[in-house]
Amino acid sequence: THNTHTISILPTALPSPSTPTECCPEGWIGYQRKCYYFSDSDRNWTYSQNYCASFNASLVVIDSQEEMIFLRRYKGHFDHWIGLQRMNDQEPWKWINGTIFNKSFEIRGGGTGAYLNHQGVASGTSGSEERWICSKPVGK
């Protein structure tokens, strides 16, 4: 639809035109089978995850390349925390549910929390503050 053009200009402002959003909380965006929240403020990884948990969601879990493309399109110019963390740079990255990350994309840097940036995925220390993205299945 014609909305596609508007979305590329205002990446965080509008709901996806192709998916009904009535199953997502107010202000969240529906895409395929998930609801997403893109924050307007910057917090550390732990605060961001707790914020998501208060909506029965988590920092975003990325299950496909298509989903990655959607997130990169909507995040605008800002770095956003995602749902991958590790104890230290010797430990494996884990998703929010505890599953070890299978390295389907590269995570740059030596930090303990992962975020999307303009190049791909990078990592920061637990105290650094970024915007964040929450996700949860539609209807949960």
Ligand X SMILES: *[C@@H]1O[C@H](CO)[C@@H](O)[C@H](O)[C@H]1NC(C)=O
Residues near ligand X, by CB under 6 A = 43-44, 46-47, 55-56, 61, 63-64, 95, 97, 99, 102, 104, 126-127
- Tokens 């998930």 appear where? 34
Q: What is the CA radius of gyration of the chain?
A: 14
Residue 52 phi, psi (nearest 5): -60, -45
- For residue 94, the one-letter residue type is K
| Closest distance of CB 5 from ligand X, Å | 30
Neighbours of 111 (CB within 10 A): 19
* Closest residue to bound ligand X by CB: 127
| Closest distance of CB 44 from ligand X, Å | 4
Q: What 3-state class would DSSP assign to 34?
A: strand
**Which residue's CB is nearer to ligand X, number 10 or number 33?**
33
**Which residue's CB is nearer to ligand X, number 67 or number 74?**
67
| Closest distance of CB 11 from ligand X, Å | 23
